[in-house]
Amino acid sequence: MAITNHERIGKCLEQLTAGLQPFVERELKSSYHGEWFAETRKTLNATQVDFLGTPEKPEWDTASLLATVWNQWNEVFKKVLGHTERSLVSELREVRNKWAHQRTFTTDDAYCQGRDESGGNVAV
């Protein structure tokens, strides 16, 4: 059976979560040190906080990672990311919400593009 566009987006979001988690944790710890988890909890909604886990074993999902980057932008992520990355976070939040609410994705929507080091497109 062929993979659906919704499944493709889900796989992209899984890869995003796996790749983004170490970066987000590193930057939060760099800014807040031992208080990084408490500071993160303050900026998430109640449902996200319930599923976040513990400081020793955080249980990030895509929504909580993207919400953290968005909510902690001025305090943490603006120091290392630019306006383009902020726009990408916004776009990714919209895609994740559309995916979570089982909206329809076109093939164009499901074609995740990035840039490799030489400037060429790469499919994800």
3-class DSSP state of 7: helix
Taking the CA atoms of 53, 112, 114 and 79 in sequence, report the sign of the dihedral they define: negative
pLDDT value, residue 111: 77
Residue labelled with tokens 């089982």: 102
Which two structure tokens, joined as six digits, stand for 82? 């630019």
CA distance 99 to 32: 32
pLDDT value, residue 124: 39
pTM recorded for the entire structure: 0.86
CA distance 31 to 77: 9
**What are the distances in angstroms from CA 46 to CA 41, 51, 86, 98?**
9, 9, 24, 20
pLDDT value, residue 77: 98
Domain ranges of the chain: 5-123
Which two structure tokens, joined as six digits, stand for 118? 């030489």
Positions of the chain with pLDDT under 70:
112-124
pLDDT value, residue 112: 61
